[in-house]
Structure 1
Amino acid sequence: MPYVNIRVTDESVTKAQKQALIKGVTDLLVEVLGKNPSTTFVVIDEVNTDNWGIAGEQVTELRKK
């Protein structure tokens, strides 16, 4: 029963893109590890850019540069 958690910044990820990620990850686990897709869980968390940091700075501030 695989569980995959994808975290992305909340910057306009569309419903179609999320569906493509869910399907793609599920298909990869089926292909590589032989996992059952009906028991494969994929969760996408969207994180506000104020709550995501890179190299000591908030992504919100980095995007402004």
Structure 2
Amino acid sequence: MPYVNIKVTGGIEAPSTEQKRKIIKGITDLLVQILDKNPATTFVIIEEVAMDNWGVAGKTTTERRSEN
């Protein structure tokens, strides 16, 4: 029973509903193909994290995006 947790930045960078659908289907299909897992018991969770709550190199994603 695989459980896959994907974290992405939210807000203006959040994936669309259609993109999330494709991610869930693609990950599920990949686990079926490579690990022979049952899609009925394969869980894919997408979590959106606010850009102020996601940090890299001592800065929030909001700060890093404003520098570019």
Q: TM-score range by the shorter chain?
A: over 0.9
In the alignment, what sits opposite 2:33?
31
- Residue 6 of structure 1 aligns to a residue whose secondary structure is strand
Structure 2: 5+ residue stretches without partners: none
Moved over 2 A (4+): none
In the alignment, what sits opposite 1:3?
3
1:21 aligns with 2:23: yes
Q: How does 1:24-63 map to 2 (within 5 A)?
A: 24-63=26-65
What percent identity do the matched residue pairs reach? 60
- The Cα RMSD (Å) is 0.6
Deviation at residue 12 of structure 1 after TM alignment: 3.2
Q: 1:1-53: per-residue Cα shift (whole Å, max 9, x none)?
A: 00000000002310000000000000000000000000000000000000000
Q: Within 1, Cα distance between the matches of 2:4 and 2:51? A: 21
Q: Aligned partner of 1:43: which letter?
A: I
Alignment TM-score, normalising by the size of structure 2: 0.93
Q: Within 2, Cα distance between the matches of 1:32 and 1:55? A: 34
Alignment TM-score, normalising by the size of structure 1: 0.97
Aligned residues: 65
